[in-house]
Amino acid sequence: MEPLKVGYVGCGFMAQKVHIPNLTMMPEVELVALAEVRSALGRKVQARFRIPRLYRDHLELAADPEIEAVCVSAAFDVQGEIARDLLLAGKHVFMEKPMAVSVAQAERILAAARAGGARLMVGYMKRYDAGNELVKEQIDQFRASGELGPITLVRNHGFCGDWTAGLDAPMDRSDEPMPQSTPQPPAWLPPEQFKPYLGFLQQYTHNINLMRWFTGAGDDVRVRHVDLDADGYTGITILEMGGVRCVLESGSLSYYRWDEHTQVYFRHGWIKTWAPPLLLRNAPAEVEIYRGGEAHSFTRPLPKARWSWSYRRELEHFVRQLRSGEPFRSSGEDTLTDVRLFEEIYRMHLAQRGLLLA
Ligand SMILES: NC(=O)c1ccc[n+]([C@@H]2O[C@H](COP(=O)([O-])OP(=O)(O)OC[C@H]3O[C@@H](n4cnc5c(N)ncnc54)[C@H](O)[C@@H]3O)[C@@H](O)[C@H]2O)c1
């Protein structure tokens, strides 16, 4: 089969350190074009990765008829608008999270996909981590067999540390100014709360999205309780996902790696997964299963893809599902739920502190 002709928009940190190197190593992809508004930076990255064409911005790239699909990574509140224009132009899009900063924006992006007849996948790489895939398989098996009884609690502890894990991939830089954005926050959000809202949303959208996948809850999710510090980041959020209580512990500390684990408790045991520092190449999450009862045991199953990187696997999934027509595991439609939840969490947080606009 001919490789998929792919374009890339925005050649900043994630593009240069993660996605472009991965794309250039995938035989199923031909990276034919790059778009970057900071043109000197674009030229450097184009030359380093030998990308045939460079465009001034995403709209120019969208007009290239050879391009079938586009990958996008830009500022939190910019990339959704880029994705929207590309989808309207009929290009399939893989975009970094967060898809949108408000439900209204998310709905406009999804409407663009329908209008353009194009498909959108959001980069929730944790769903493609080979260790987490094993966890999901085990949860579904335990639920079907009833071996460990019902799920009683899901807990995600997500304290941020150094996520870069010393990744030494080269990076071109530029003094050119970053493009201006016109953010589209939720109408009810006080302007001075946009930054903390975005900080919490962009980080913990990963963790909530992972718990939603583990529980198979889809859109059957609501926020039960929010207890965040004045920083709008550190604390505890309790959600209900498909009838299961799910706890998110959020915060950060000076830690040389990444302090994140997710534990799914059944009445008679648990499954636990430890996230690797995100940019640690080729290290899947580590998994532990405890079976309680008379003859109890710990097991530490290992995924078949022993040395694999979630970021590479998500792009492989994108190409595979485009080819087969099968749905994405982290589609734009599914992500709408995450965007809704973050509006709900922050509304509760600000209401408790008397900071909501009247
Ligand atoms: N999945 C993860 O683990 C993970 C980790 C880090 C960051 N991210 C996400 O990646 C995204 C990108 O982050 P980053 O640090 O790489 O960004 P960045 O700011 O380093 O780079 C973005 C680039 O996009 C360019 N750009 C902006 N508008 C453009 C347009 N219309 N056309 C062409 N180029 C344009 C900018 O000039 C800039 O060079 C963020 O939204 C973030 O949430 C995800």
- pLDDT digits (tens), the chain, 358 positions: 899 999 999 999 999 999 999 999 999 999 999 999 999 999 999 999 999 999 999 999 999 999 999 999 999 999 999 999 999 999 999 999 999 999 999 999 999 999 999 999 999 999 999 999 999 999 999 999 999 999 999 999 999 999 999 999 999 999 999 999 888 899 999 999 999 999 999 999 999 999 999 999 999 999 999 999 999 999 999 999 999 999 999 999 999 999 999 999 999 999 999 999 999 999 999 999 999 999 999 999 999 999 999 999 999 999 999 999 999 999 999 999 999 999 999 999 999 999 987 6
State which residues form the domain around 15: 4-123+313-330
**pLDDT at residue 183 in the model:** 87
Q: Decide: 73 in ligand 1 pocket, CB within 6 A.
A: yes
Q: Is position 325 within any domain?
A: yes
DSSP conformational letter for 16: I
Assess whether 256 and 116 both reside in one domain.
no
Q: How many separate domains does the chain show?
A: 2
CB 341 within 8 A of CB 220: no
DSSP conformational letter for 263: E
Amino acid at 202: Q
Tokens of 157: 């502890």
Assess whether 233 and 264 both reside in one domain.
yes
Residue whose pair of structure tokens reads 């201006």 in the numeric block: 180
- Helix/strand/coil for 337: helix
Tell me the CA–centroid distance for residue 324 and ligand 1, in Å. 28
Between CA 270 and CA 266 the distance in angstroms is 6
- Helix/strand/coil for 6: strand
How far from chain centre, in Å, is Cα 292?
A: 33
Burial of 194 (0-12, 13-18, 19+ CB in 10 A): middle
**Probe target for ligand 1 pocket from 11, 13, 172, 342, with the most ligand atoms within 8 Å of CB:** 13
**pLDDT at residue 230 in the model:** 97
Nearest CA to ligand 1 atom 18: 12
Tokens of 324: 């087969």
Prediction pTM value = 0.98
Residue 95 sits in a domain of what CATH number? 3.40.50.720
Between CA 226 and CA 223 the distance in angstroms is 8
Burial of 191 (0-12, 13-18, 19+ CB in 10 A): exposed
Assess whether 146 and 286 both reside in one domain.
yes
Q: Is position 358 within any domain?
A: no
Q: Decide: 38 in ligand 1 pocket, CB within 6 A.
A: yes
Amino acid at 15: A
DSSP-assigned letters across all residues of 298-316: EE----SS-S--HHHHHHH
Assess whether 115 and 153 both reside in one domain.
no
Assess whether 90 and 147 both reside in one domain.
no
Assess whether 106 and 193 both reside in one domain.
no
Assess whether 115 and 139 both reside in one domain.
no
Q: Decide: 125 in ligand 1 pocket, CB within 6 A.
A: yes
Between CA 285 and CA 126 the distance in angstroms is 9
Q: Decide: 307 in ligand 1 pocket, CB within 6 A.
A: no
**pLDDT at residue 358 in the model:** 65
Neighbour order of strands in the sheet with 286-291: 221-228, 235-241, 244-252, 151-160, 259-266, 269-274, 286-291, 297-299
Tell me the CA–centroid distance for residue 330 and ligand 1, in Å. 19
Between CA 31 and CA 71 the distance in angstroms is 10
Q: Is position 357 within any domain?
A: no
Amino acid at 206: H
Assess whether 176 and 52 both reside in one domain.
no
